[in-house]
Amino acid sequence: MFDATVAAALPERVVPAYLPKPPAGRTIVVGAGKASAAMARALEDHWTGGALTGLVVTRYGHAVPCRSIEIVEAAHPVPDAPGMAAAERMLAMVGGLTADDLVIALISGGGSALLTLPAPGLTLADKQAVNQALLRSGADITEMNCVRKHLSAIKGGRLAAAAYPATTVTLAMSDVPGDDPAVIGSGPTVADATTFADARAVLAKYGIDKPEAAIRHLQAAADETPKPGDARLSRASVRIIAAPQMSLEAAADVARRAGVAPLILGDALEGESREVGRVMAGIATHVVHYNQPVAAPAVLLSGGETTVHVRGGGRGGRNVEFLLSLAVALNGAPRIYALSADTDGIDGADEAAGAFATPDTIARAAARGIDAKASLADNDGHGFFAAIGDQLVTGPTLTNVNDFRALLITD
């Protein structure tokens, strides 16, 4: 089912149907995200217009060779200098275009960190510090990207505004709950309805008060992001080419063919990973005892993006934290097996997509002297599952439609 989820969102499968018509003038390709290089390659392979030029930035290890579109690799989830340099070049590349020109923006998950260009007066170090604090705070993706937009010179519609009067067509792969184009990659080509006040409220909510330069910038609120109705975005449009629900339906088809009843619980589940794990354990246990809300054999499928407030010494990772919480709550209950993994192949900052949980997960860990509850308290899901050999390591999948969670209840 995980393989089907990923395959349904591979760029070579989804990009061709959404390509815009070639323009009378030039075509410039820009983009950012873990899937952006593979998207660029698919665009090149199926483009029927004139010459393409451009630049996309992707995560280290996610590059795909292209013929005319330059691929730059940079750091994720904490930005680095190559990502900043690429963003600066990208912004310059779309300047000075005419109404006959076309900008194709390829945006996927990870674009927020990869497309980093600090607002005037801020440094890369400022952006890195805020990013690290947000990642550990438990803020959800909408909150994180609200802050990122207001510390940026390119996000929150600024890239499309710089390209005006050229037409901008964004092909976006959604990795966010609700598939909001303004949140995907922090919406560099999409009008931003959030404000500096909203960004300040997010930092206040999570007790983030440094670095001082970033706080001063948000307080000054000198240069708002382009808002809905901004004339500079009148020639910009977005096409969602892949989304979590599409991939969950592909997984459900696999289950049906195997004689297992699928129940999709939602493609936009949010909340603290450990809390979602406990809730899912309760639902799976109800299926075991009462065959409700679906009769076994069945699989409970869900997507979305939970959060981890890292308080311990572990590395976090929302999928492994979810699974560890689930396993602790089930405490060896029979007939329930689970997989939780990020479809991009990376759970948080760790080079593992996620992990598996089985009825004997807690017992096998205890036999190795590992206390599951202590590991959960330390936010050390990756260490826990690595120690018992139950990590799922896929390498870069070159797509990203958020997390995939499957709880299989056997009969």
Looking at the DSSP bridge assignments, the partners of residue 304 are: 269, 403
Mean pLDDT computed over every residue of the chain:
97
pLDDT for the residue 177: 87
- Segment 94-109, tens digit of pLDDT: 999 999 999 999 999 9
**In this structure, what DSSP letter does residue 147 have?**
H
The confidence band for 319, taking pLDDT boundaries of 50, 70 and 90, is very high
Buried b (16+ CB within 10 A) or exposed e, 258-284: eebbbbbbebbbbbbbbebbebbbebb
**SS3 for 77?**
coil
pLDDT score of 344 more than 90: yes
Dist. CA 20–CA 170, nearest whole Å: 10
- Mean pLDDT to the nearest integer, 382-404: 97
Residue 349 has pLDDT above 90, yes or no: no
| Residue 13 in this model has a pLDDT that exceeds 80 | yes
Q: For residue 350, what pLDDT is reported?
A: 82
Neighbours of 366 (CB within 10 A): 13
Q: Kindly tell me if the per-residue pLDDT of 72 is higher than 80.
A: yes
Contacts of 48 (CB under 8 A, 6+ apart): 22
Whether residue 168 contacts residue 103, with contact meaning beta carbons closer than 8 Å, is answered with yes
DSSP sequence for 116-137: --BPTT--HHHHHHHHHHHHHH
How large is the average pLDDT for residues 14-19? Answer: 98
Please name each of the domains of the chain with its CATH number.
Answer: 7-242 (3.40.50.10180), 245-409 (3.40.1480.10)
pLDDT confidence of residue 10: 98
pLDDT value at 320 more than 80: yes
Q: State the pTM of this model.
A: 0.95
Query: What integer pLDDT is reported at residue 348 of this predicted model?
Result: 83
Structure confidence by residue, pLDDT tens digits, 368-377: 999 999 999 9
Structure letter (DSSP) for residue 359: T
